[in-house]
Amino acid sequence: MAMTAAERQAKYREKALKDPDGHLLVRVQTMLPPQAHANLKRLQKTTGLTQRQCIEQAINRLAEELNCSTE
């Protein structure tokens, strides 16, 4: 019997919520103003990083700068 759309989506999400190193990921969804989005795109082009990598590095750097990092 074929899987339903909901079953396929659940299987996709289960697979997608693990990064290449096997760590569990959390989905974050937000809206950005055009200037921030343009800056993100420029960062990606300049560094060759993905959106996720750029955002992750920015968050971690700010957390370290503010001394609120868990690492």
pLDDT digits (tens, 9 = 90+) for 14-69: 787 877 777 788 889 999 999 999 999 999 999 999 999 999 999 999 999 999 98
The pTM assigned to this predicted structure is 0.70
Facing residues of 18 across strands?
24
Q: What is the pLDDT of residue 1?
A: 80
Cα end-to-end distance, the chain, whole Å: 47
* Cα gap 46→18, rounded to integer Å: 26
**Buried b / exposed e along 25-60 (16+ C-beta atoms within 10 A):** eeeeeeeeeeeeeeeeeebeeeeeeeeeebeeeeee
